[in-house]
Amino acid sequence: MSVADGASVEVETHTSDGQTYDAVATHVVQVPAEVTAAGLRQALRQCDGGRAIVLIGRGAPRRRRGDRAPAESGLVLLQSLRRQADAQGLEVALVTRNERLRAQAADVGIPAFGTVQGAQERPWTLAPSHLDYTPPNPGRDLHQPVSVQRRGRLAARFRTVRLAAGDRRPTPWWLETALLLAVLVGAIAALSAMAAFIVPSAEVRLVPAQEPLTETITLTARSDVETASASQLLLPARRIGERVEVEGTVLATGLEYAPDQPAQGAVVFTNRRAEPQEIPVGTVVATATGSNVSFETIQPATLPPGVGSQVTVPIQALQPGLAGNVRAFTINTIEGSLAVTANVINPSGTSGGTVKQVPVVKQADKDALRAQLEQEARQKAYVALGKLLREGEFVPSETVGTLVLDETFDRFTDEAADEVTLRLRLLATALAVDGTAADEMALQALGQKIPRRAQMLTDSLRFNRGVATVSQEGDVVTISFPNTASSVVVLDVDPAAVRAAIRGMTPAEAVATLQRTWRLQETPELTLGPDWIEPLLRRLDFDWLPMQVADRVPWLPFRTHVDVQFAGVSSDTAETP
C-alpha cells in the first residue's frame, strides 16, 4: 500500500526459507532516504500491530565529510519513529547501510540491520533509549525572569542531542596545554618507573644436594614362562647348551726311589774244551740263587784253548739299581750256547748300582687337575654360552652345569713322570634370563621411591644381581635372585618458586632464604645486572616508588634467571626467563 512521502508497507508472512508462519505479522515499511518525520509516522500508522521493519532507501545523495545533516535525518527523525512505535505498541527495527544512522538508532534503542533478511532471521526487540533522560528543572530564582529559565531548560534538554550529533564545544588552549604537560610528566614518570622495574635482572646459580638411593626386589625366573610379568615380578628363563673341550697339565707331586746306575764287576770264564772260544760283547751271565740278576759283558774276549784255561771279562748289570750289587761267587750261569762249553764265576762282588728320587703321578694330582680343568671349562662355557644369548639376556652362574663326555690322562697313577696331562670334553648347560626386563622392574621400583620434584642422574644408575637360588620340580627350573637398582638422586629446585621466594630482596637476604628453603650442595651464587643499571638507580633515587628497586632482586619474576646445575655441570633443567 502507498503512504505519504512515497512510503510503502508490505506484510510478510513467510520466513527466509519460504515457510509460512502466522504467529506475529511482520511489516516491511520502505521509505525514501529523504523522508520526513511526519511521513515516517504516517507510514508506521498503516501497521496494525506486530513487528515493523523500516527500510530506508538509498536515493539521497551522500553527504561530504564535515557537512551537518538535516535535523530530521538524525536523532530527531529516529526519536519520532521510536515514539510512534511506542504509541502503537509496535516492535520496530531499522534497515540501513548508513553507519551513522545505525549508531544513532542504537542510542535511541532501535535495533539496526544491514538487510531485511538479516532482520527477519535474527531475534530482536526494542531496547531502552539512551536519550529519553530529561534533566531536572533548575531551581527557580525569584529574581530571574521566566523566559531565561525556559531558555536554560531548553538548552539542557537538547545538549544530549547536539553531543550525539557530533557538536563539541572547543576546549580552551591554556587548558589543553596544561593537560598536555600533565600527561607528559605522567608519561615520563610512568616510563621511569617501568624502566626501574623492567630493566634490572638477576642471575641465580644453584647446585641442589645429591643423595644416594637404592631399591632391591626379588625376582623369579621360570623355564616354563614365555613373557615377563611386572606385576608378579616373573621372568622367562630359556635353556641353552654348548660343548666345551679343555686340556691342562700339572706337575707330579709324588716322590719315589727309582734305579739310577747299573752295577759293574768282572767274571772269569773257564774253557771246557780244547779249542779256543770267542766270547762276544753282550754275552749274558746271571746269578742262580734268589732273584736272578742278569749281567752282560761289555768287552769282547777269547777263551784260550785247553780245558781249564780262563779269561777275565768285565760285566755290567742289565738293569740299573741296587739289585745289581751281588756278592762274590753268585754269578755262575751263562745264557746261550756258550753255557755247554764254558763255565763262569765272579770271584768278587759287583758294585756301583744306585737309586735316586723321582716324581711320581699320584691320584691326588689327577683329581686336582680335573678340578682345575672343570673350573676352566666353566669359564670357557660362559664365553661359549654368551654367544648364544639374545639381547638383554644374562646367565646366572648358579644355573651353569657341566656333563663330562670324555676325559683322558696321559699317565697312570703311581707312574714315574714329571707331569701329567688331561684332555677333558664336556657339555655345558645353563638358563638364560631376560635381564632387560629384570632391570626395568628394579628401575620402576626405584622410581617409586624418588622424592617429589627430585631427579635421577641417569649416568649414576647401576644394577646389581645377587646370588641366585635354583630349584627344580620335574622339568621346570625356578630361579630366584635379588636385583638391586641404585642411583644418585638430585633434589630438584623449582625455578618459579625460587623467583617468587627472593623477589625484591637484597642479595644477602636472597642467599640466606635460598639456603634456608632448599637443600643445596654449594652456596648459591647471585649476580645483579646489568652493570650500569645499579649505579643509575642509586643516583636517581627512586625512593618515591612504593617498592625499593636499588640493590634488590628484580620484583618482576621473569627478570630473574635461575640456573639449576648438578655437580658443577649445567643440566637440562636450567631455565631461562
Same domain (yes/no): 12, 66: yes
Among 488, 514, 544, the domain boundary falls at: 488
If DSSP codes are grouped into helix, strand and coil, which group holds residue 105? helix
3-state secondary structure 210-264: EEEEEEEEEEEEECCCCCCECCCCEEEEEEEEEEEEEEEEEECCEEEEEECCCCE
**Residues 562-572, mean pLDDT to the nearest whole number:** 61
**Residues 360-364, mean pLDDT to the nearest whole number:** 90
Using pLDDT thresholds of 50, 70 and 90, give the confidence band for residue 338. very high
Q: Is the residue at 19 inside a domain?
A: yes
Do the Cβ atoms of 271 and 310 come closer than 8 Å? yes
Using pLDDT thresholds of 50, 70 and 90, give the confidence band for residue 317. very high
Q: Is the residue at 140 inside a domain?
A: no
Q: Is the residue at 144 inside a domain?
A: no
Among 488, 520, 547, the domain boundary falls at: 488
Same domain (yes/no): 347, 394: no
Number of domains forming the structure of the chain: 4
Lowest mean pLDDT among 166-180, 240-254, 319-333, 430-444: 166-180
More confident residue, 176 or 58: 176
Lowest mean pLDDT among 36-45, 161-170, 312-321, 466-475: 161-170
If DSSP codes are grouped into helix, strand and coil, which group holds residue 158? helix
Neighbours of 315 (CB within 10 A): 25
Q: Is the residue at 141 inside a domain?
A: no
Q: Is residue 50's pLDDT more than 60?
A: yes
Lowest mean pLDDT among 87-101, 547-561, 563-577: 563-577
Cα 299 to Cα 9: distance, rounded to the nearest angstrom: 169
Q: Is residue 113's pLDDT more than 80?
A: yes
Using pLDDT thresholds of 50, 70 and 90, give the confidence band for residue 318. very high
Using pLDDT thresholds of 50, 70 and 90, give the confidence band for residue 142. low
Domain range spanning residue 59? 4-121
Using pLDDT thresholds of 50, 70 and 90, give the confidence band for residue 282. very high
Using pLDDT thresholds of 50, 70 and 90, give the confidence band for residue 19. very low
Among 336, 353, 370, the domain boundary falls at: 353
More confident residue, 328 or 59: 328
Residue 333's H or E segment, with its range, is strand 331-334
Sign for the CA dihedral angle at 219, 221, 225, 227 comes to: positive
**What's the pLDDT at 469?**
93
**Residues 101-105, mean pLDDT to the nearest whole number:** 86
Same domain (yes/no): 204, 215: no
Q: Is the residue at 165 inside a domain?
A: no
Lowest mean pLDDT among 185-189, 301-305, 335-339: 185-189
Same domain (yes/no): 465, 348: no
What percent of the chain is predicted at pLDDT more than 90? Answer: 29
Give the dihedral of Cα atoms 505, 507, 508, 511; nearest 10 deg: 90
**Strand pairing report for 301-303 and 284-287:** unpaired
**Strand pairing report for 234-251 and 210-222:** parallel
What percent of the chain is predicted at pLDDT more than 70? Answer: 80
Same domain (yes/no): 29, 114: yes
Q: Is the residue at 433 inside a domain?
A: yes
Q: Which residues contact 374 (CB under 8 A, 6 or more apart)?
A: 402, 424, 426
Q: Is residue 162's pLDDT more than 70?
A: no
Residue 30 belongs to domain with CATH number:
3.30.750
pLDDT digits (tens, 9 = 90+) for 483-539: 999 998 887 788 889 989 988 888 898 999 998 988 888 889 998 877 776 666 666
Per-residue DSSP letter, 337? G
pTM for the whole thing? 0.43
**What's the pLDDT at 414?**
85
568: left (phi over 0), alpha (psi -120 to 50) or beta: left
Looking at every residue in the chain, the average pLDDT score rounds to 81
Same domain (yes/no): 471, 448: yes
Let me know the angle formed at the C-alpha of 521 by 529 and 575, rounded to the nearest 5 degrees: 45
Same domain (yes/no): 343, 427: no
Q: Is residue 159's pLDDT more than 80?
A: no
Same domain (yes/no): 384, 470: yes
Cis peptide before 138 (omega within 30 of 0): no
pLDDT digits (tens, 9 = 90+) for 184-237: 887 877 776 676 667 788 889 988 888 889 999 999 999 999 899 999 999 999
Using pLDDT thresholds of 50, 70 and 90, give the confidence band for residue 271. very high
Residue 335 belongs to domain with CATH number:
2.40.30
Same domain (yes/no): 268, 249: no
Strand order in the sheet with 294-297: 331-334, 284-287, 294-297, 310-317, 264-271, 342-345
Same domain (yes/no): 364, 421: yes
3-state secondary structure 379-439: HHHHHHHHCCCCCCEECCHHHCEEEEEEEEECCCCCCECCEEEEEEEEEEEEEEEEHHHHH
Same domain (yes/no): 548, 481: no
* Sole residue written with cell 538479516: 118
pLDDT digits (tens, 9 = 90+) for 400-451: 888 888 889 998 888 888 899 999 898 888 999 999 999 999 999 998 888 8
Q: Is the residue at 96 inside a domain?
A: yes
Q: Is the residue at 401 inside a domain?
A: yes
Burial class, 217, CB count within 10 angstroms (exposed 0-12 / middle 13-18 / buried 19+): middle
Q: Is residue 568's pLDDT more than 50?
A: no
Same domain (yes/no): 282, 317: yes
Do the Cβ atoms of 471 and 477 come closer than 8 Å? yes
